[in-house]
Each structure stands twice: as structure tokens, then as C-alpha cells.
Amino acid sequence: MSAGLKICIVGSGPAGMYTAGAIVKKNPESQIDIIDKLATPYGLVRAGVAPDHQTTKNVTRAYDKVMENDNVRFVGNIGLGSDVPLDKLRELYDVVVIATGTPKDRSLGIPGEDKDGVFGAQTFVYWYNGHPEYRDAVPNLDIETAVVIGNGNVALDVARILMRTEDEMVTSDLAEHAASEIFRSPLKCVHVVGRRAPENAQFSSKELGEFAELVSAKTYTDKSVLPAEFTSDDKKEEKVVNTNLDLLRNFEQIRPGIEGRSIHLDFLASPVEILGDEAITGVRFERNRIVDGKAVGTGETYEIDCQLLVSCIGYEMGILEGLPVEKGIVKNDEGHVADGLYVVGWAKRGPSGTIGTNRIDSQNVVERMLADFEGGGNPAKGGPAGLDAWCREKGIRAVSFEDWKKIDQAEVARGGGKSPRKKFVRTRDMLSIVQQEG
């Protein structure tokens, strides 16, 4: 029996929370600290999931229940690497589980990526969702045309949020600073460009369907590239793709001289160069065709004039001292990294799948971990008391789950009207709430 383990989970996103939930169930004697560099828990549920998709965020109620267990602590505002080294955590705890997600944008790898007006999805999404580290990454939205690269749901989120009206966002928790930029933007056109064919796009039908309902923008696509029908041995995939193709058929045909606000869903093109001097003025694309399931350049190029580019082509792990990172993820064997060190979620698998995908994955890693520690933990480990001593010594003001609840209540109270909350976007403002409340 792996009794009495002292476990530190680094990251309070879905993967970290499902890991904690599984440990609570399988090994209730464990003491679990969930640390996060932010003062707010739940990772991309707060900072990634689109602000107009509030029902998706209800998953946090289940995470709250995990946090409320007596043997679980949230220790926010303490970053692995920035505030505490991995070696220290491994010294204090029997087990350290890396659940940091993949906090870095994947690069397009083309000339011009450093120009003003070029953003990765992480930066752009974190900006509009009020992530404190990206509060000041203000994009210039005094523009007419934006290009969004990618054919997944994040690309659709970005295009939709740029085109939603203030009325459409009243029930959202879009960060105040982003709302003021987005709603006064004269933006007329957003191109969402994917390198593969429409049947290869990773969109969910729900997200794609929302484009038909946008109040101020019409959606266009080139219907000549839509196949009549899509067949696959994977019947689930076949159904999703055919639903998406039906949705695409119902959009308008792309044509010259479109007036009014528009979203263009373009397929079979890869960006090859970002144009402009200091700031982006356009993107050169190469048209693709599909050969053996892969997008292959045809040599034919075209340009789209634009003043903003958001690249939504995925994320990767950054460098964290002491962690082996390979191909954008923490190198692991089914979640095992080294003695007493495990990884879950996007840091383990890479950035794909939904919130729910992390549940079974975290459960499997917990099974493996508890089997590895059948003999129990090391009673000499400092555990939570050792972490508290570290924070005192370093002057770190850790944020507890009770503190977070105060911040949460203050945000909800500030929301007013139909908005679920008005987010604090500076950690110091969050800490001042906690201090005021005593």
C-alpha cells in the first residue's frame, strides 16, 4: 500500500486537477499540494477556453470539490523554476507531478515572424482572457484585416472573438482591457487559413456552427474545394467531417468585392513569408495539394494584405531546469520521467484533445505512480510544511484555496449585469483583495 505519500502537483489545470482527484480516491492518506505560478487555479479553463463559452467553464465545480478535500492544498503564486527549483520540490516530496501544460507557442518557422502585429495564439488568447503575464501584450486592433493561421478550434475561437459584437459578449468574461480594444476596432475581415483540405480540418462542429450565427459578420468559403462526400473506416470521424462539410456548404461562396464584415475560411495554403518592414503588412502563402494525406506545396503563391496575424498551430513545453524536453513535451514513459517524477496532460502528450481527454490520461499515470510507490513514502520528506518554510524564507506570498475563493467572489461581484465576472488581471490586485479580506 502506497500509504502517506507526500505529493506535489505542479499546475492546477485540468490534468493536475484530474491527477489530484484520482489520488484522493485511490490513496486518501496522501498529502497533496497543487502549486501554480498564478494566483488563480484551473489553467486553460480560465485562461484558454473562450470567454463566450461559459458552460465549458462549469467543469471547475468538479475541481473545486477536489480542492475542498482536507488532504489537498492549492498553493498559488509560486512558479516552478521562478520561485522554487525542481530539485527542491523533489527533495520535499515523495512524488512530483509536472502538469504545467505546454506554455509556449509553436513557431511558424518562416521569415518575418518577429514583425509587430504577429502573435502566437497563446499570447493573443491569454491577452483577451486576462492572464496576468499577457495583460500588456496589447495588439494593435486599429486595423482592417487579420489573418489567423490554423484549422483547429483555437483558430475559430480567435476569429470569432475578434468579430463578436459587444451585445454578443455581454454574458462573457472577456477581460475588460481586451473588450475595449476589440469593440472599437474597425476590423472588416478575418481570414482563417489552413494548410490542409476542408475534410482534414480539426474544427468541432459546434464551434464551426457558431459562425452561421454571428450577428455582424458573414462567413465565406471556397465551395469548389469541398468534396461531395467524405468516407472513412472511422465512422465517428466520418460523421464529424460530414457535419462540418455540410456547415461549410451553407456558408457563402468567396468572391471578389465582398462588402461588410466577413470571415473567410481558406484551405490548402501555407504561409511562407510575413511581409512588411517593422510591422506586418501582409502574408505570402503557397497553395497546397494533398498527396498521400499530406499537404504539399504547388509552387503557386498569393498574398493577403493584413495588419495582424495570429498563429494557432499549437504549443510546446519551454525549457524548465531539470526536465528533459524532447519534441515539445517532457520526455516520458507513459507518464514516468524519473524516480518520483511524473508528467500528465499536455506537458506529457502535447497540445491536443479536450479537457475531458486529460481525465483518463491522469488516472492512468496515477495508477502507475501508486504501483511504483507500493512500499509507501519516505517519512523524512518535508512535504507541505517544508514548502511553507521555503515560501517564508523566500518571502513568497502563496495563495491558498480560501484566498482564491475571496478573489473569485470579488470578481463575480464586479461582474454586474449579465457578465459572470470581471477578472482581475494583475496579481497585485488579486493579492490586495486577499489582504483586505484578512
Q: Residue 34 has which C-alpha cell? A: 497543487
Q: How far is CA 64 from CA 14, 42, 97, 308, in A?
A: 12, 9, 19, 38
Q: Shortest distance, CB of residue 431 to ligand FAD, whole angstroms?
A: 16
Q: Shortest distance, CB of residue 228 to ligand FAD, whole angstroms?
A: 31
- AA identity, residue 43: G
Q: Shortest distance, CB of residue 282 to ligand FAD, whole angstroms?
A: 25
Count of positions (residues) in the chain: 438
CB 5 within 8 A of CB 46: no
Size of the site for ligand FAD (CB under 6 A): 34
Contact between 270 and ligand FAD per CB under 6 A: no
Q: Is the dihedral of CA 271, 273, 278, 282 positive or negative?
A: negative
Q: Pick from 21, 43, 384, 386: which binds ligand FAD (CB under 6 A)? A: 43
Alpha helix positions (H), 48-117? 60-67, 86-92
CB 304 within 8 A of CB 261: no
Cα–Cα distance measured from residue 196 to residue 103, given in angstroms and rounded to the nearest whole number: 25
Closer residue to ligand FAD, CB minimum distance, 84 or 141: 84
Segment interacting with ligand FAD, rule: CB under 6 A, options 31-39, 173-181, 296-304, 325-333: 31-39
Segment interacting with ligand FAD, rule: CB under 6 A, options 4-12, 177-185, 220-228, 425-433: 4-12
Which residue from 128, 57, 174 is spatially nearest to 419, judged by alpha carbons?
174
Contact between 346 and ligand FAD per CB under 6 A: yes
Closer residue to ligand FAD, CB minimum distance, 10 or 241: 10
Q: Using CB under 6 A, which residues numbered 102 to 131 contact ligand FAD? A: 103, 125
Closer residue to ligand FAD, CB minimum distance, 226 or 337: 337
Closer residue to ligand FAD, CB minimum distance, 185 or 358: 358
CB 408 within 8 A of CB 46: no
Segment interacting with ligand FAD, rule: CB under 6 A, options 9-17, 295-303, 329-337, 423-431: 9-17
Closer residue to ligand FAD, CB minimum distance, 15 or 280: 15
Closer residue to ligand FAD, CB minimum distance, 35 or 217: 35
Q: Residue 119 has which C-alpha cell? A: 502573435
Cα–Cα distance measured from residue 186 to residue 178, given in angstroms and rounded to the nearest whole number: 14
Contact between 48 and ligand FAD per CB under 6 A: yes
Cα–Cα distance measured from residue 122 to residue 364, given in angstroms and rounded to the nearest whole number: 28
**Phi/psi of residue 384, each to 5°?**
-55, -40
Element (H, E) at 286: strand 282-291
Q: What angle do CA 317, 322, 326 make, to 5 degrees?
A: 40
Q: Shortest distance, CB of residue 122 to ligand FAD, whole angstroms?
A: 7
Q: Pick from 6, 7, 9, 12: which binds ligand FAD (CB under 6 A)? A: 12
Instruction: Give the residue at shortest CB distance from ligand FAD.
Output: 13
Cα 228 to its chain centre, rounded Å, is 34
Q: Residue 302 has which C-alpha cell? A: 498569393
Cα–Cα distance measured from residue 371 to residue 374, given in angstroms and rounded to the nearest whole number: 5
Contact between 16 and ligand FAD per CB under 6 A: yes
Segment interacting with ligand FAD, rule: CB under 6 A, options 138-146, 349-357, 367-375, 391-399: 349-357
Contact between 37 and ligand FAD per CB under 6 A: yes
Q: Shortest distance, CB of residue 182 to ligand FAD, whole angstroms?
A: 16
Q: Pick from 24, 32, 99, 410: which binds ligand FAD (CB under 6 A)? A: 99
Q: Shortest distance, CB of residue 325 to ligand FAD, whole angstroms?
A: 13
Q: Residue 390 has which C-alpha cell? A: 521555503
Segment interacting with ligand FAD, rule: CB under 6 A, options 93-101, 249-257, 303-311, 388-396: 93-101
Q: Residue 145 has which C-alpha cell? A: 484585416
Q: Using CB under 6 A, which residues numbered 124 to 183 contact ligand FAD? A: 125, 154, 157
- AA identity, residue 8: C
Binding residues for ligand FAD, rule: CB under 6 A, are 10-16, 35-38, 43-44, 48-49, 53, 56, 79-81, 99-101, 103, 125, 154, 157, 345-347, 353-355, 358
